[in-house]
Structure 1
Amino acid sequence: MTIYCDESGGLNAGAMTFAAVMLSPQVAADIHARFRSVTGLRGELKGSRISLVERAYLLELFDRAGGRAWVAMARRDTIGGKPGGAVPSDLSVYAALLNLAVGRWLPETGGVCTDVVIDDGRYDPVILGKVREEIQAGLGAWGRASLAESHRSDGVQIADVIANSLFNIAAGSPRAHRIQRIIEPMLASKAIRVAELKDFG
């Protein structure tokens, strides 16, 4: 199995989320292909660009295919620092969320070789390379950590939609209530689980 990773938001927007989605590459490709064939989507699949109905359909495909995800979440009002203090950088929060989300998966892999694929689009490649090395050290001989361009990875694009869904809820966006209704069954069944980053720094 493969863990596909992507993030959404930032502390300046009220919250940051990081999704670590477990799917086989073939299942990720099948979900993505079916979604495109039904919706006619052109270009990259991103949670910030699709309608509520399209989001619901993608998440239904994900759930029906047996997809699972851990989503790590940081809220600005929880980790934003002490009054008058500095707000943590998005990069430091990103790294902490990545470690939290992937870390929740590793004990559940049962020793099965696991690859971790991380979106390379947000930060400098050198910085992301160091993050990848840290994840690789945690995986040891059980798997391989790599960076991928999101538009070339089916699984990373699915992870983007899941991260964006939880970001909308955490940040209280105008669409938060509808997205909460869409995702509630998956939260209840634990197909999607949330871990909140509270202790930071």
Structure 2
Amino acid sequence: MGVLRLSLGKKAIRVLGLAESFRKGSSQDAILAGVVMRSDFIVDGVVLGRCRVGGMDVTDSILQMYRKLNRDDISALMINGCIISWFNVVDLNKLYRETNLPSICLTYYPSTGLREYFMKYFPEDWSERVRIYEENGPRTEVVNKNGLKIYLRVVGVDVGAALNLVNKYTLFGRVPEPLRLARLIAHAILEERLQP
């Protein structure tokens, strides 16, 4: 598969921004939220899902969420982290293969690596988690339009185009609006579900 080109000049380009919320020890499942947002910041879709805390199912959960939307106007997937819900690894290559959409994972702080944690907490399947993690490609440190460092992993698009897309959706700080809103939704739902 080649690298897709994103038509960033189009006013109503849409991304599906995905984020999660969980509280380890309170529930076996994490809440996933997806927000379809146009580049003029109009939200025109929301989808919910779940994945296992510490599981291996987040990629399939994201694919189910994407299919639930039943839309053909989404131009890219933007994910708040490649390892979410306590070491549940997002497979960017599988997302790209099955949706044919560029998959962009954002993180916000440097990392010293995760292999030792995979081995410590998941002795039965650590090598599979590491394989997926490494096949996602290297994290690239970039500076967003607000002058702040962020880290991207991308599949299906080059880093420059991915950064342009991230900048298009970022109003302030580091977090693009689709991810910020998805994170708020997931957190609110989790808090409601954990109420006594």
Q: TM-score, normalised by structure 1?
A: 0.48
Question: Which structure has the highest strand share of the two?
Answer: 2
Q: TM-score, normalised by structure 2?
A: 0.49
